[in-house]
Structure 1
Amino acid sequence: MASDTRIPVVLCWHMHQPDYRNQRTGEFVFPWVYLHCLKDYVDMAAHLEAHPMARAVVNFAPILLEQIEDYLVQIERWRNGGATIGDPVLAALVSETLPEAGSPAFLELMDKCLRANADRIINRFAPYARLSDIAELYRSRPDVQRYVSTQFLADLLVWYHLGWMAETVRRSHPVIQSLQEKGQGYTQDDRQALLNVIADLMASIGPRYRQLGAEGRIELAMSPWAHPIIPLLLDLGSARESLPDVTLPAHAQYPGGEARAGWHLEEGRRVFRRFFHCDPVGCWASEGGVSQDTLTLLHEQGFRWSASGDSVINNSFDAAGTSGKKGDERDIHQAFVFGEASPTVFFRDDGLSDLIGFTYADWHARDAVADLVSHMETIAGNAHNGMPVIPVILDGENAWEYYPENGYHFLEELYRVLENHEQLRLTTFRDLVDSPVREPRNLPHLVAGSWIYGTFSTWIGDPDKNRAWDLLCAAKERYDQAVSEGTLTGEQARFAERQLGLCEGSDWFWWFGDYNPAAIVRDFEHLYRLHLITLYETIGCTAPAELFQPLSQGGGTPAKGGAMRPGHADGEGK
């Protein structure tokens, strides 16, 4: 591609879910892993398969890959007469007995089957919408509950999974089309057939992405194992590089954080290699969380590139005294290196990425893609000093439920336009490291931050977030004591090490805070406390009493439910 004079565009899709399992029981507390498999990971692979000239980076959190594998093991065990599937919603889909109307279990299962986007999923399908209306009547009229049969739940379970089905599957799979046409009165055989489709789709994810990678059509990359914020593990004080006045937790440092950060990268690489049969070249450090020390660690671990948000590079420009008086002095559209750290770092064009995440869902697909590509062409035309690089980085799962038909038309149009564009070419970060379009720019120091606002305020500084950090630090101290005393051996030691890793994940801290929705905060803070309690039990210590009380309440109404955030604090989109 050295002779290709078109401007390189990198689409980087990040696939990530935290660990939703109760590690003691093996039960999935929430169903988001398998539902995003059905709706998003399958579709994202299918769109790339349908466009041979398209290229993209697909980044996986290793803990997500392990959970997909666990689902497949549990489904196969159940098929062979073993234990019930450890996800209560998926297990109910094929259960021969469902809760009776009027029981708490009936209401709980009904509510779970309505956790979907009302406009884009539930109301799209008339039978699903009718079931939702019946559910509302059920809640408001206890006197009619006795007249509701378990067939209502059976139909609702089927439509819940049909609603979360990948659009590429919906348009082609005969079983899914037959079930949709039937509309109601689903039998046990219908439900079993649907589970078989679900299992087949989940089993296809690893091989499909592995094949795309082997053919050079995507670059597979990884995040640290359980998605921790690496700079904060290394130094909680790094939060002050971008927010000097931030209030930090009572614990000045996370105990042994450097070793833990290295462990997450090593464990993540082990899982990645097992799934994809290759080593990753790049690492999207969780939430684009980077610092100078993080780059050093990534280099030591053999990674050649990383990436973050454009607020991070602008903070680094400020620290370097770059004035911005010349057009190219603060150009984010290029590769960078920082001081003696060797990994190449790319920076997300937050404006372009946020247009996809927050703006285009309500546009006609052709208009949205034309607008996005027009912005890219403007960037290409305004380049002052060498060929630019245009990185677009966002979640590969959360945006699409806000688009018509799971973003089918937008993604098809995006790949169609870009795979043969006269001025732009789709590529990968690995290819840009192997064959740079211009020498990376060197700045003396990377100011620590994340892709959100260029700070770590999403994970630290709020009273609830700091309290969660202090609880984690205290648990780590007890863990270290158990290790030093030699009380952890063999499988118990391995389990405790991984359980600690789950507690270190970023997602728990993301959701703490009054600005987040109360229901989601309740889910995630409960799971965080459960993971910490399990850690204490594993190392033979009594969990502190405060772990049995809620840590955060929530109550806000952020855009897109809080699962996505704009890269800049001053608005959504460009």
Structure 2
Amino acid sequence: MTDLAFLWHMHQPDYRHPDSGEFLLPWVLLHATKDYADMAAHLERHPGIRCTVNFVPVLLDQIEDYAAQFASGQWRDPLLRIAAAPDGELPSEAERAWLLDVAFRCYAPTMLEPFAPYRRLRDLLAFVRNQDGHSLDYLSATYYTDLAAWYLLAWSGESLRRSGRTIPQLMAKGGDFSVAERRALLAELGEAVGGLIPRYRALAERGQIELSCTPANHPLAPLMLDFAVAREAMPNCPLPAAPEYPGGRSRVAEHLANAQASHERRFGRPAAGLWPAEGALSTEFLKQIAEAGFQWTASSHGVLRHSAGAVMGDSAQTTTPWLPPEGTPGDTLLFFRDERLSDLIGFEYAKWHGRDAAQDFMGEIKAISRREPGALIPVFLDGENAWEYYPYNAWYFFSDLYAALEQTPGIRTVTLAEAAAARRERSPRLPRLTAGSWVYGTLSTWIGHPDKNRAWELLCELKLCADRALDSGRFDAAVCAQVRHRLAVCESSDWFWWLGDDNPAESVATFDRLFRHNLRSLYRLLELPPPAALDHPLSSGGSGGNSAAESGGTMRRATESPS
């Protein structure tokens, strides 16, 4: 019997302004109504499919924030505020500028071009912008409320379009949406968002899926523990001027503990497995994972190749889990994803007809099964950002793939906890662990570039200030908790991902700005003046083109969607 283990990783960083709580970007909301809803629906329609779904706590925090907004009508996302506005009420100038900036960020061939009313809104904006400098003043309140509604409609998942009431009605009507119609749309979307966490919990409670977690705010833990581990896979990697991230071990431990507390509160039990942020592992981080009691963790074949290649050659196998190197406490099992199969789904099959893609993937699985009877096939990838590149949000691909897997004898889908329990006794031991991630098997996406290193240096300076302030006894418990929370947000891997030359300049600037907002906010919490350096961008530019993820075989980030 061949085991196929899917892991769908769900993550978005904290997009909220650190002081106002206002959502500066709408990606959590949009992925919730499109991707998280659809991925749950696929599993509900195919009860014979088992898999692992990984949720990062900072994403769950924001899903609950949106659920509270829908319940109260107190909007902290300008997209929702504009969509809910009374007829004839023109949004503020800042809100209008924000909406015009984001409301066509999607993959146009699948999410914009198919909808004539949405295209007309885009074309009208392009025409008006080509006129004199005051031409935008001629856009009416109806233009903005229709645009907000259409952005929400374009990002609604196929499951909502097929089962909803308001969504298909408004898509058929096309425009001139009344406030009653727009608020009915928000009610339908709010029901979907509010139901997400209970739906996934129900899938887990009936044993169909395993829910795993990531350290709470998605930190690049190996670098927090030791910058020098970047040189294990990349010996010439330039390092930050700071010798280390101060108190990194205790910070990583807090992220791990907070992740388990989040998981138990939301899903009723602690997580058995941990997908590390960016699939990034190191020897010291693996020890902390084991000490925290996780039964399994995972990375990618690039890390396995760097770790075991000297012993087994570059073909070090992903078709079995691995025991940790000698000297690692506990017996946390390591899984390494099949990069080629994972990237076929993440990057290639969107160009295919859904049925052809599903049949091709099944052919790949069957070939491995014949070649290696009893193999474990680990397919791990982002569970949210790839689907907009597929027609119909990958609805037909998943329908055909999951149906084929349910009907194919000799191949079964399993959770990673099941795979760990069944294979632990016959797993080989990893000779060593070379620090790396699921991007190239290195840590180069988060360190080494001057902009990335400068970001680490600024964070290290702030961490030293926080340590001194917290040790001083000047702050009560509530303020100390706020400081630790804001520090956790600042430690997210996403800020470092976007800095550098490989990503679109617009996205680089957005994440650079949000990172500095968070640093400044923490200085203010500490009652310290933010350094002047935070008034200036860290980024030296950006590519102005596609992200490195397009060629790096990793997850797409939400804001790679072209305008």
- Asked if Structure 1 and Structure 2 have the same fold, meaning a TM-score greater than 0.5 normalized by the shorter chain, the answer is yes
Amino acid at match of 1:67: Q
Q: CA deviation at 1:102?
A: 11
For residue 86 of structure 1, what is the aligned residue in structure 2? 76
Distance 1:370 1:558 in 2: 32
Match of 1:207 among 198, 210, 228: 198
For residue 233 of structure 1, what is the aligned residue in structure 2? 224
Amino acid at match of 1:474: E
Amino acid at match of 1:362: K
The secondary structure found in structure 1 opposite 2:234 is: coil
For residue 321 of structure 2, what is the aligned residue in structure 1? 335
For residue 63 of structure 1, what is the aligned residue in structure 2? 58
The secondary structure found in structure 2 opposite 1:12 is: strand
Q: Is the 8 A contact 2:3 2:414 kept in 1?
A: yes
Report how many residues are paired: 551
Match of 2:215 among 212, 224, 239: 224
Residue 496 of structure 2 is aligned to residue 506 of structure 1: no
- Cα deviation code 1:12-48 (max 9, x no counterpart): 0000000111121111111111111001000000000
Residue 133 of structure 2 is aligned to residue 177 of structure 1: no
How does 1:117-156 map onto structure 2 within 5 Å?
Answer: 117-142=107-132, 145-156=136-147
Q: CA deviation at 1:435?
A: 1.9
RMSD over aligned Cα, in angstroms? 1.9
Q: CA deviation at 1:340?
A: 3.3
For residue 364 of structure 1, what is the aligned residue in structure 2? 353
Distance 2:456 2:88 in 1: 41
Q: CA deviation at 1:306?
A: 0.6
Q: Give identity over the alignment, percent.
A: 41
Amino acid at match of 1:240: R
Distance 1:480 1:195 in 2: 43
Amino acid at match of 1:239: A
The secondary structure found in structure 2 opposite 1:435 is: helix
Q: Is the 8 A contact 2:53 2:212 kept in 1?
A: yes
Judged with a 3 Å threshold, the aligned counterparts in structure 2 of structure 1 residues 562 and 131 are, in CA distance, closer, same or farther, namely: farther
Q: Is the 8 A contact 2:506 2:544 kept in 1?
A: no
TM-score by length of 1: 0.93
Q: Is the 8 A contact 1:53 1:420 kept in 2?
A: no
Distance 1:392 1:235 in 2: 29
For residue 50 of structure 1, what is the aligned residue in structure 2? 45
How does 1:284-323 map onto structure 2 within 5 Å?
Answer: 284-319=275-310, 321-323=311-313
- Cα deviation code 1:179-222 (max 9, x no counterpart): 11111110000111011011101001000000000011000000
For residue 243 of structure 1, what is the aligned residue in structure 2? 234
How does 1:92-491 map onto structure 2 within 5 Å?
Answer: 92-96=82-86, 100=90, 105-142=95-132, 145-319=136-310, 321-323=311-313, 330-338=316-324, 339-341=326-328, 342-383=331-372, 387-436=374-423, 439-491=426-478
Q: Is the 8 A contact 2:166 2:185 kept in 1?
A: yes
Distance 1:138 1:352 in 2: 45
Name the stretch that deviates more: 166-175 or 524-533: 166-175
- Cα deviation code 1:316-369 (max 9, x no counterpart): 1134x3346xxxx72221110122332100101000111111111010111111
Residue 513 of structure 2 is aligned to residue 526 of structure 1: yes
Amino acid at match of 2:423: P
The secondary structure found in structure 1 opposite 2:407 is: coil
Amino acid at match of 1:141: Q
For residue 3 of structure 1, what is the aligned residue in structure 2? none
Q: Is the 8 A contact 2:70 2:187 kept in 1?
A: no
Distance 1:563 1:165 in 2: 24
For residue 81 of structure 1, what is the aligned residue in structure 2? none
Q: CA deviation at 1:557?
A: 5.0
The secondary structure found in structure 2 opposite 1:430 is: helix
Residue 13 of structure 2 is aligned to residue 27 of structure 1: no
Distance 1:317 1:161 in 2: 47
For residue 13 of structure 1, what is the aligned residue in structure 2? 8
Query: 5+ residue gaps in structure 1?
Result: 1-5, 79-83, 569-574
Query: 5+ residue gaps in structure 2?
Result: 555-563
